[in-house]
Amino acid sequence: MKKRTLGNNGLEVSAIGLGCMGMSFAYGQPMEKKQAIDLLQKAFERGVTFFDTAEVYGPFTNEELLGEALAPFRKEVVIATKFGFKDGVAISGLDSRPENIRAVAEASLKRLRTDVIDLLYQHRVDPNVPIEDVAGTVKDLIKEGKVKHFGLSEAGVQTIRAAHAVQPVAALQSEYSLWWREPEKEIFPVLEELGIGFVPFSPLGRGFLTGKIDAATNFESGDFRNSLPRFSEENRKANQNLVELLQSIAGKQNATAAQIALSWLLAQKPWIVPIPGTTKLHRLEENIGATSITLHTDDLQQINDALKNIAVQGDRYPAHLQKVTNR
């Protein structure tokens, strides 16, 4: 597996990481523990060294899962986790008060069975707590040896600059894929200027860009995609043209639509590290395979030209969740 570096302080990770949320949370029935541990360990065996979790995934169970699964090779992997919600429950609201950050960090250390968190993100920007206080608290945790690197998620330009001035930000994690390109407009120039890495979550459009989801797909009752406007039956049907574009290019490359979508992300900037999630070994291997695909200039041009004529239908979140993004 090729490596990439996030930020200016030498945080080296595999070119593709593993988003672990779906093993415990949000996509229907959680994986059985034994199967999840096996998948995490097989990811490491195949070269993945970057694992993404958060206290809210479960809540708490996903961190515990990673702690157990990655313990045998803890020093060889980078674990990223997050704080920022009240009582570790997203629907309870935001909470980035310094005392909560400290409490979450201590609890995460125990669940992850480690003495240091490699990358600690603020999960969402809290408008009630100055970002300078948030960055300052993480800076103190770094000085104490409990955290190595500081990250932000779904933060806007002003927040990124203000946080970075207090404690260098190693990475920004936000949604980014062929069907959500918003970060390119204002965020990318700032990240490049400040030397901050970018970690796209949902790089496969929550599975849609794999080509395995269509208008007839039925999600489990506990799958949060049931509540997302972009995944309404009507919008899934309308957005198939984007998948067809990926499949046409995949055919020429002897690849899959998912691999083309990930390869496109990797081609955008050398400091981008996507974290696709999966619960299946063959999907994990498929995603890893994207690192060995090279999209040529004409492929990238074909994609960019086609995207100009493709208007993605449907918001990425329901209205009540839109307000906690990009502050």
Please give the positions annotated as active site.
57
Q: How far apart are CA 89 and CA 60, in angstroms?
A: 9
Say what the alpha-carbon torsion angle 54, 5, 37, 287 is, to the nearest 10 degrees: 110
CA distance 209 to 200: 14
Residue 143 Cα distances to 146, 292, 296, angstroms = 8, 38, 44
Cross-strand pairs, 149? 119
> Helix, strand or coil for residue 98?
helix
DSSP state, residue 138: H
How many angstroms separate the CA atoms of 247 and 226, rounded? Answer: 25
Tokens of 319: 């209205």
Hey, which residues does 246 pair with through a beta bridge?
Answer: none
Please state whether beta strands 78-83 and 117-122 pair in parallel, antiparallel, or not at all (unpaired): parallel
Pair 97, 86: CB distance under 8 Å = no
Alpha carbon separation from 68 to 73, 194, 319 (Å, rounded): 10, 35, 37
**Continuous segment of H or E residues that includes residue 160:** helix 157-166
| Alpha carbons within 13 A on the beta-carbon side of 14 | 28
Read off the tokens for 308: 């100009």
